Amino acid sequence: MLALAAAGTTLAAAFAAPAAAAESSGWQYTITPYLYMSSMSGTTTFGPISAPTDLSFGQVLDHLSFAAMGNFNAQNDKWAVNVDLMYAKLGATGPKKGLFNVDIEQGIYAGVLARRVAQHAEVYAGVRIVTLDVGIHSNFGPQIDRSRGVDWVDPIVGLRVNAPVSDKVAFNFMADVGGFGIGADYDIQVWPTLQIKLGQGRWRADVGYRVNYLDYSRDSGPARFQYDMLLYGPTLGVSYTF
């Protein structure tokens, strides 16, 4: 908490001067570091071998090596640019303890351009880049070790709604779909958030619930690889607007 307070003080000092310029130009910029308390459910397939993953957030946390997440938004009356970055590295155990270990290193990076179409609504289009290194390792019978590193780019289209609930609270909702067989077969995100202003300044707390679904497959037969994974859970962030 002390580190967060120190970081907030530093950010406020650094952005105090640019804030006035941003207001005069009509653009607002928001930086949001956040935590995605994600559970995971799905399968990773190598040829005829499928390794299940079914983990609560607590179990994910037990196996987490490193994670980093953040969002940047730039917006004026008509246009917005949003960039979202999420990276996590973990070693996870399947639901049948001791059957398989599944090691996952995953990055999900999205950039979109949005156009306002109503007072509180925007449509957007962009790309989501996924980097994935995954391995499965058996802990029974014959030793089975398979691993694969893949990167792909999914086009995405979506809708964002941001509507005030009160003077202090706004409701933000993002939903998009992508992949279309160009990268993944399916790449889906739904992310509702309550944005709560802190005091009279430029800080706010963001409390939400996020769902990401990825279904990616490549090759066939013994070389077949499929990553079919659902991520879901609450998000908690702190935003600064300048």
Distance CA 139, CA 100 (A): 6
Q: Note the pLDDT of residue 51.
A: 84
Q: Which of 70, 69, 157 is nearest to 114 (CA)?
A: 157
pLDDT at residue number 25: 62
Cβ atoms of 27 and 74 closer than 8 Å:
yes
Residue carrying the six token digits 């995100």: 189
Q: How far apart are CA 86 and CA 94, in angstroms?
A: 23
Low-confidence ranges of the chain (pLDDT < 50): 1-24
Contact present, 217 and 187 (Cβ < 8 Å):
no
pTM: 0.84
> What are the distances in angstroms from CA 144 to CA 100, 101, 130, 147?
9, 10, 26, 10
Structurally, the chain folds into a number of domains equal to 1
pLDDT at 12: 42
The enclosing domain of 226 has a CATH number of 2.40.128
Q: Which helix (H) or strand (E) segment is 42 a member of?
A: strand 39-46
- The pLDDT score that the predictor gives to residue 141 is 67
Tell me what pLDDT residue 91 has: 73
- 189 closest CA partner among 205, 177, 181: 177
According to the model, what pLDDT value does residue 13 have? 45
Whole domain around residue 47: which residue ranges? 2-241
| Tokens 């950039």 -> residue | 111
CA distances from 30 to 59, 67, 71, 162 (A): 32, 21, 8, 14
pLDDT tens-digit profile of 162-213? 999 999 999 999 999 999 999 999 999 999 999 999 988 899 999 999 999 9
